[in-house]
Amino acid sequence: MPAQPKRKGGWTATAVVAVLCVLWFIPTIGLFISSFRSPDDVRDSGWWTVLPHLEWQAVDKITPDAALDRTGTMTFAGASGTFEELRKGVVAPDGRRVLWVGNRRTGVVQIEQQVWTANLNFGLSNYANVLTGKQYEVVSAAGAKTTLRGDDLSGAFLNSLAVTLPSVVLPLLVGAFAAYGFAWIRFPGRTAIFMLVIGLIVAPLQISLVPVLSDYVKLGLNGTYLAIWLAHAGFGLPLCIYLLYNFIAQIPRELLEAATVDGASHLTIFSRVIVPLATPVLASYAIFQFLWVWNDYLVALIFIGSQPNVQVLTMRLAEIIGSRGDDWHLLTAGAFISMILPLAVFFSLQRYFVHGLTAGAVKT
């Protein structure tokens, strides 16, 4: 068998994908590490300090003599410099650094040397504070104690589940039936209706928010879970129908004709033949829809409201950002909590992902 020619640009594509993966992965690792660090560590140092690194640490302190001329050049531990230079740090010939700490009149001189260290002060207090909503005490490096109240995200997590799961199942069920009908059932206006549905994919959902909201208010649905379920299902249906139609239309006609000859109805063919074959496509769409609904903020804010008892996770995180903009240790813990379930869904269904996206793309 002749050797297959190498594809041009293969290494380039691999390198680009690798770079993109690294660029996405590094912030995620930083977020994960910061969620376990103490408030002072998050505020005073970067997450990468958990890795072994050289750091200046004080080994001695010198109190300058009161008669010392602080306006000229001063010498301490073999390093000379003006007050401004010593404030920035001057490295002595032996490798140690001389640093003036404090003001010109009452400051002290700190002798530092570089040592290998790693900041491994980890704990689960950030997650406990974010999930329980109880009061907790923060002790700063100077010993000051501050009592704060955590943000209870457990209720918002359950609300997000209550919103997301039906919003994924509904378009899957309706879209699968619709795609089967468009692919194998002949009815008047089929092509025109299908083109209209596909055209809705490119329509921005923002233009429909106000009309849908007006209808919900008239029907008394606004502020309920049913409202947001129907909204997400409607916004996600065009893509679901398109993906499933591309796959179902490629199924050999002989297979369905054989099932029809055996006496199978459309419902039997759909449930016994189409659904098992379309599992990769269904899983791919489920991933897209789950990630979109789980991370949605705008649609949830408009159709379900901002009452604490119905808030979803993205809305609670937005409130934490507004009220706790300086508490990065809580923000990182809350953000990673919101990522856990989407990551679990993606990795559990990833074996279907590529197959589902490419199904029906190439006719064999």
pLDDT tens digits along 150-190? 567 888 888 999 999 999 999 999 999 999 889 888 888 88
Domain 154-358: give its CATH architecture: Orthogonal Bundle (1.10)
The per-residue DSSP string of 76-125 comes to ETTEEE-HHHHHH-EE-TTS-EEEEES-TTT-EEEEEEEEEE----B-SH
Residue 102: both structure tokens together: 């404090």
| Upper half-sphere CA count for residue 160 (Cβ side, 13 Å) | 25
Taking residues 43-64, what's their average pLDDT? 87
116-150 pLDDT per residue, tens: 988 888 888 888 878 776 555 555 555 555 555 55
CB 109 within 8 A of CB 86: yes
What confidence score (pLDDT) does residue 165 get? 93
Q: Please report, rounded to a whole number, the percentage of residues in the chain having pLDDT higher than 70.
A: 87
Q: Write the CA distances from 172 to 9, 232, 241, 251, integer angstroms.
A: 38, 11, 9, 19
What confidence score (pLDDT) does residue 294 get? 93
205-223 pLDDT per residue, tens: 888 888 888 988 898 888 8
CB 127 within 8 A of CB 331: no
**pLDDT-derived band at 241, boundaries 50, 70, 90:** very high
What confidence score (pLDDT) does residue 1 get? 47
The runs of H, that is alpha helices, within the chain are 10-34, 39-44, 83-88, 125-132, 154-184, 190-199, 206-219, 225-248, 253-261, 266-269, 275-277, 279-294, 298-303, 313-323, 328-358
What confidence score (pLDDT) does residue 354 get? 61
**pLDDT above 60 (res 7):** no
**pLDDT above 60 (res 67):** yes
What confidence score (pLDDT) does residue 363 get? 45
Residue 265: both structure tokens together: 């109805």
Report the distance separating Cα 145 and Cα 138, nearest Å. 6
Considering the entire predicted model, what is its pTM?
Answer: 0.72
Taking residues 295-305, what's their average pLDDT? 89
**pLDDT-derived band at 288, boundaries 50, 70, 90:** confident
Least confident of 35-49, 229-243, 345-359: 345-359
Q: Write the CA distances from 336 to 30, 47, 162, 299, 332, integer angstroms.
A: 11, 15, 19, 22, 6
**pLDDT above 50 (res 364):** no
